Amino acid sequence: LVWHSRRLAHVVKAEPTLLTHKGKFLRDAMKRTRITEEEIKSALREHGITKNDGANWVVLETNGNLSVVPRQEIKWEEAETLSDVRAPNRMPGR
């Protein structure tokens, strides 16, 4: 059913959610997804990142994993693999 109905898929399936943007924690998204700052910092450390702004973005994936996109010179709008990620309309520093 999920395969054939977009509305049902939206209700049943989670979508990837942006949790940080260039070192800034997106508190509303963190609260909504119940992800703590400590969990995000742990994911950063797992990727060898020692500063919050060492990653462009941290994304909560649909499987519960945290994906870390290391710091690079790219704008959010240009990041093709993030096109399906739920993000606020206005992000800090954007």
CATH of the domain at 20: 3.30.240.20
Q: Which domain holds residue 64?
A: 14-82
For the segment 44-88, what is each residue's pLDDT rounded down to a tens digit?
Answer: 999 999 999 999 999 999 999 999 999 999 999 899 999 999 999
89 located within any domain: no
pTM: 0.82
Encode 31-45: b = buried (16+ Cβ within 10 Å), e = exposed: eeeebeeebbbebbe
For the segment 2-53, what is each residue's pLDDT rounded down to a tens digit?
Answer: 455 655 555 556 789 999 999 999 999 999 999 999 999 999 999 999 999 9
Residue 12's pLDDT is 52
In the chain, the N- to C-terminal Cα span, in Å, equals 38
9 located within any domain: no
Contact 27, 40 (CB under 8 A): no
19 located within any domain: yes
47 located within any domain: yes
78 located within any domain: yes
21 located within any domain: yes
Residue 89's pLDDT is 85
The total domain count for the chain is 1
